[in-house]
Chains A and B, each alone.
Chain A
Amino acid sequence: MTGQAPFGTFHMTRTAGLWLLIGLAGYALLPWYMVAGGFWSLRWIMAPLGDGASGLTHSLQGKVWLALPLTGFAIAAVAVLGRASQLTTARLLVLAGTVGLALLVAQGLLVLRDGPRLALLGTASQTGMGAGAAVTATGLLFLLTTGISSLGRGRGDAFVTGLVGLVVALVAVFVFYPMAFVLVRAFELRDGAGFGISQFLPRFFDPNVWGMACFRGTGYCGPAINSVALGVMTGAGTTALGLAFALIFTRTQFRAKRLLRVLTILPIITPPFVIGLALILLFGRSGTFTTFFADAFGWEKTRWLYGFWGVWLAQMLSFTPIAFLVLIGVVEGVSPSMEEASQTLDADRWQTFRFVSLPLMRPGLANAFLLGFIESLADFGNPLVLGGNFNVLSTEIYFAIVGTIADPAKAAILSLVLLSLTLSAFVIQRRWLGKKNYATVTGKADSGRNAALNPALRAVCYGVALPWAAFTMIVYALIVFGSFVKLWGVNHTFTLEHYKRAFAITIRNGVHFTGAAWDSYVTTLTIAAIAAPLTAAVGLATAYLLVRQTFTGKAVFEFSTMLSFAIPGTVIGVAYVMAFNFPPIELTATATILIIAFVFRNMPVGVRGGIAALSQLDKSLDEASIMLGANSFTTLRRVILPLMGPAILAALTYSFVRAITSVSAVIFLVSARHNMATSFIVGRVENGEFGIAIAYATVLIVTMLAAILALQALIGRRTLRRADRVEAP
């Protein structure tokens, strides 16, 4: 019999000892600050006293405050080496982690590049923390969680506690910390007069922001009102259209469902403003349709597209698929037996739909609306291209940061306005739905058949959805068409010129990627490829903690991870610029900041997918593994992950695609060295170089399609063999 010692002092000190060593190694060996050329260039190794100096070296060279984290390690060493009781050791570890982290954070926040905030510290200054600091902090964090896991009466699972600690720390540093900067900036007084509350409320509720003149017909509305009106219209519109598509998909014998599916997926992998661009080329003053109707019927050429309706149309095209994807799951999830029950109770098809199916879809409809609303408020590309005089919050924020008169305080206040709008929507939705925020349809297929739609309803669905599908198809056909002609709307001769300018390869003394787009293309793909697995990992780990583990503070944990879902990309972008532009964490103009932004922007989707997948995995599988002597980590690795193939695939695909197509956060974070495809395209559009922009977008769409198919081949095949029976048989 191979017995195992209980998880007691021995395991705890072993784990703690390991983290102590790792933390110390980070402190004594790795460069404490950011190094020139990036950590992975490894050039710092050659300069152990200069660029590559560790925390230890620095503290000996005069940066005495860097010796502070040693306090934590010292206490931990006492805990690990001393032979105290389990409880005492655990308490010491908690103390070590807390003290160490607190001192580390405090020195980072107090000693900046321009000198310390407190006169006490003299003329100390430092740059942004680097790898050494990160490893030191990690070591301290896990010392803390190891201690906590052995403190309580709980199951004493160091892995779970560590995971909770890690996610909490990441969300704190990369969501709450930057948001705090926005909050603080919003209280900045004009003309550099310091900070104060006196100007905040007047500026927050400024009539320029909340004005409603447009409803009285006496002028323009404020961007807040515009955003809300647009968001409500887009949310309602996409939900209705998405529902029509979902109903056609599940409740009719429509022939070309496959085509419909492709059509609804396409906009998701399209950079949003590309649709805006196509609309200009179709309906703008010299657009194809406009010209056609002007010639044929003598209609006046107007600029109706530039404003509310144009933006709305573009958003409808962009976000209907999201509503569809949410709703199809919900519509499929309505148990056929309920509908059959209703029909046996003599309800006709309309009554069944109206009184049984529709109420059951309520959470799904609310979800779809919320998504549409938030996406619309966060959308940046379409209003930028089509807005004209119609100002919305996201573009106003952008211009407050990059405009001729940069006004960070204004950007911060508008960000808060935007955040308060999305948060209100979020809170209202949760209230309305009650506690069932995660109500996932775990539905085992039951054998009944869903009721067919009643004829009138079916006609409405077809009438709404099919023209829309045709319209989408035309838009896409024209995007491809536009990339192959000289100048759309003016000169329709076939040309490869745009592709050449963007993606030319010269072969002379070797291969040269001379096209203008190569740089951003490679950067985009690299960053997306790095961000995708990280996003999936953080998202799924969070889902695992939420579904499978109980721990104190879980409700708060859940809310804070969902919170980042309600923060629009624009706001995240602004917050990152404000927070990570100077020590202690100095990330602007690096690729890292882009990766981090994507991870925390897209994490909520990974969380949702993971939750849905995990709730379909019988919990007794985990328990069986635990009973057989596996710990949580082994169980996760050998039982849960192999069974979650599809969820992992979905999370990977989604985060990869979003990293390539998103603009809102990216536009603030790109740099000359790390330009992204979307911001490159926006630049072309602003210069009026539509051809190359469209060609680039087409290449991106094809790339993403290829990547999705490749991912599916890679993970999907293995999944088929393994997870064909997800239920414990």
Chain B
Amino acid sequence: MTKGSVRFEAVTKRFGSVVALKPLTLDIAPGTLVTLLGPSGCGKTTTLRLIAGLETASEGRILIGGQDVTHQSATYRRVSMVFQSYALFPHMSVAENVGYGLSVKRLPKAQVRERAEEGLALVGLAGFGKRLPSELSGGQQQRVAVARAIVLEPEVLLLDEPLSNLDAKLRRHVREEIRQIQQRLGLTAVYVTHDQEEAMAVSDRIIVMKNAEIAQEGSPHDLYDRPASAFIADFIGDANLIDVEVSQSGADTEIALLGRRLRVALPPVPNGAAKMVLRPHQVRLTRDAQGFALPAEVTYAAYLGNQIQYTLDSEAGRIFAICAPVAAPFRPGDGVHVTFDPADVRLVPA
């Protein structure tokens, strides 16, 4: 069953001389929520608009549900989109907005009304149909936009930074709702964001983009646990990146850090210079050296209630650490020792 699948075959997009997308090949499985993540200007919106049919590919083929839609206009693709600005029609009531796509298809009026009401109920806005969009809160408008997109039962639902206009609390709430609706209806969804936490929270798969191409893709866990590059390690969850020297000996990998040797498991990287990925919460701080330890000095400490964040200066460079709160925290100027569990360590090419 290919309904709802999306496939790019070496798709490129140029705006004049600007290359917005280098040859991009991707496959999105039906019924999954895939996030496009990446820094500003990396081509996320362009990718989404290519799926939507709002832009035409410069080269390559685009398939939706197994059908070649490269030259098909947006009007006729079975794809819906939730816009960052919501793009609710200000002169229509909420119900008219939600029913717009159905009435454009010339469905009977009664049916349009009924299905619009169903759609509103689905996003928890039953009874709001008569209001104008300007009479709703930001979060409600956002949900109307979602309802409007899903009453058409699209093969693919596209969302371009749908939450960026909401405050932090609401954002969390609405993203859970979107995820639930998507799973309940078994929709394929492509979601653009540059908030990596949001991406981790809702996605089946994440596609990280950089400079108009894919940097790495995989499940949230894959990306966090097995970053393929320093860029990914830093972008998905914070990371301390420490220069090391790698030497292979048998099945194990050995690294040299400031002259000390350490044995670590996985993943294999070529011998020579590399970077060690050390997540801030994997850093342990002690006053006294025990076994392998890096001496460091606390330069900054921030108390956040449920955690304490430290910035440290060490021979290996600046290290960022997150610790559970304790009765007697370290203070700037204190000398400490940095240790970690070699099993936690990941390596990426320098």
Contact = CB atoms under 8 A, between A and B. Distances in A.
Interface string B108-143: 000000000000000000000000011010000100
Interface string A629-640: 111101000110
A639 B89 contact: yes
B73 A618 contact: no
Most chain B C-beta atoms within 10 Å of own C-beta, residue among A625, A627, A727: A627
Interface centre among B52, B74, B75, B78 (most CB of A within 10 A): B75
Contacts of B100: 625, 628, 630, 638
B80 A627 contact: yes
B134 A724 contact: yes
B2 interface: no
Contacts of A505: none
A729 B105 CA distance: 25
B88 A729 contact: yes
B90 A726 contact: yes
Contact of B101 (A156, A629, A726, A729): A629
Interface in A676-729: 722-729
Contacts of B107: 2
Interface in B64-105: 69, 71-76, 78-81, 83-91, 100-102, 104-105
Q: How many B residues are at the interface, by size bracket?
A: 35 or more
A629 B85 contact: no
Interface in A569-619: 618
A728 B148 CA distance: 15
B72 A7 contact: yes
Interface in B270-302: none
A615 to B, nearest CB: 15
A217 interface: no
Contacts of B53: 155
B12 interface: no
Highest count of chain A CB atoms <10 Å: which of B54, B71, B102, B107: B71
A157 interface: yes
B56 interface: yes
A727 B90 contact: yes
Interface string A1-13: 1111111000000
Interface residues of A, number: 38
Nearest to A630: B104
B152 interface: yes
B252 interface: no
Contacts of A638: 100, 104
B153 interface: yes
Contacts of A1: 78, 153
Interface in A1-46: 1-7
Contacts of A5: 76
A258 interface: no
B199 to A, nearest CB: 22
A487 to B, nearest CB: 56
A153 B133 CA distance: 37
A624 B79 CA distance: 11
A621 B89 CA distance: 7
Interface string A515-552: 00000000000000000000000000000000000000
B81 A723 contact: no
Contacts of B85: 618, 620, 728
Given A2-B105, A153-B56, A154-B56, A624 B73 contact: no
Contacts of B149: 627-628
Contact of B91 (A628, A631, A643): A643
A629 B105 contact: yes
A623 interface: yes
Given A626-B54, A729-B141, A7 B75 contact: yes
A713 to B, nearest CB: 19
Nearest to B96: A638
Contacts of A723: 90-91
A642 interface: yes
B148 A628 contact: yes
A58 B149 CA distance: 56
A504 B148 CA distance: 61
A412 to B, nearest CB: 42
A594 to B, nearest CB: 36
Contacts of A153: 56, 71
Nearest to B155: A1
Nearest to B133: A729
A471 B26 CA distance: 73
A276 to B, nearest CB: 46
A1 B73 CA distance: 19
A634 B56 CA distance: 21
Contacts of A632: 75
B144 to A, nearest CB: 10
Interface in B42-69: 52-54, 56, 69
Given A154-B56, A729-B141, A6 B87 contact: no
Contacts of A627: 52, 54, 74, 79-81, 149
A151 to B, nearest CB: 11
Interface string A68-81: 00000000000000
Contacts of A154: 56
A623 B91 contact: no
A728 B86 contact: yes
Contact of A729 (B69, B81, B90, B153): B90
A634 B102 CA distance: 13
A725 B134 contact: yes
B76 A4 contact: yes
Nearest to B52: A627
Contact of A725 (B54, B56, B90): B90
Most buried by A among B100, B102, B141: B100
Interface string A460-492: 000000000000000000000000000000000
A643 B133 CA distance: 14
A505 B117 CA distance: 61
A625 B101 CA distance: 8
B75 A630 contact: yes
B303 to A, nearest CB: 37
B116 to A, nearest CB: 12
A6 B149 CA distance: 19
Given A629-B101, A728-B85, A7 B76 contact: yes
A624 B105 contact: no
B104 A628 contact: yes
B54 A623 contact: yes
Interface string A181-210: 000000000000000000000000000000
A629 B101 CA distance: 6
Contacts of B153: 1
Contact of B83 (A4, A6, A156, A620): A620
Contacts of B105: 2, 4, 629
A636 to B, nearest CB: 13
Contacts of A726: 90
B86 A729 contact: yes
A140 B90 CA distance: 39
Contacts of A624: 81, 83, 87-89, 148
A6 B148 contact: no
B86 A626 contact: no
A148 to B, nearest CB: 14
Interface of A: 1-7, 153-157, 618, 620-621, 623-632, 634, 638-639, 642-643, 722-729
28 contacts: A4-B75, A6-B76, A7-B76, A154-B56, A155-B53, A155-B56, A155-B74, A156-B71, A156-B72, A618-B85, A621-B89, A624-B88, A626-B73, A626-B74, A627-B52, A627-B79, A628-B101, A628-B148, A629-B75, A629-B104, A631-B75, A632-B75, A634-B104, A642-B91, A643-B90, A724-B90, A725-B133, A728-B85
Given A628-B80, A631-B75, 12 more contacts: A4-B76, A618-B87, A620-B84, A625-B100, A627-B54, A628-B148, A629-B75, A728-B83, A728-B85, A728-B87, A728-B90, A729-B141
**Top-10 shortest CB links A-B:** A628-B101, A624-B87, A620-B87, A722-B91, A630-B104, A155-B73, A627-B81, A725-B90, A6-B72, A620-B83
